[in-house]
Structure 1
């Protein structure tokens, strides 16, 4: 059976995310991987509204917003050296990497 590795990279800072994705793709191309991506996934926006003071000035509030940007990279038919390289890569603080392995069924 053949395998695909789905790599989701998330970060709060979009410029930091782009630098990490570029570094990641350069490393994969250097190892000779067949890949698809990066695909920009929808950004998730979260808004928080907090009272400034619970007793005095109850109508006074602060608003905060958190934006999470995501990219998807798919590696087709990875080798064992690519798997070792993936586990050995380190990223900047604030960048989250998620790996999922999916097997393709032969038809």
Structure 2
């Protein structure tokens, strides 16, 4: 697995959780001796929704909501078998989505 590269993609609605989980991953992977690059912040996806408060009388009365999805990427440049075992056994924080690609 010397020439392989793992890509870890993290998504979350809360940037504090995603940054803390990225630090946990970095500390665990560095203990195995693998080289790591990141976390690389990607652009935040913003979805905006407008909802009518009073649909019949006041057309101008509206509420606006938005959902922000924060993204980070980590690259593991020289993973070992021990690195993969740690990734599989790691507890994922609540509210963080983790995707691993080879």
Output the TM-score relative to the length of structure 1. Answer: 0.86
Deviation at 1:94, TM superposition (A): 0.8
1:49 equivalent in alignment to 2:50? yes
Deviation at 1:36, TM superposition (A): 0.9
The aligned counterpart of 2:78 is 77
Deviation at 1:48, TM superposition (A): 0.7
Q: Which runs of 4+ in 1 moved over 3 A?
A: none
Deviation at 1:58, TM superposition (A): 2.6
Deviation at 1:81, TM superposition (A): 1.6
Q: Give CA-to-partner distance per residue, 1:51-76, whole Å, 9 cap, x none.
A: 12333323211100111111110001
The aligned counterpart of 2:5 is 4
The aligned counterpart of 1:20 is 21
Give structure 2 stretches of 5+ with no counterpart: none
Give structure 1 stretches of 5+ with no counterpart: 102-107
Deviation at 1:98, TM superposition (A): 0.8
Q: Which has the higher strand share?
A: 1
Output the TM-score relative to the length of structure 2. Answer: 0.90
Deviation at 1:88, TM superposition (A): 1.2
The aligned counterpart of 2:67 is 66
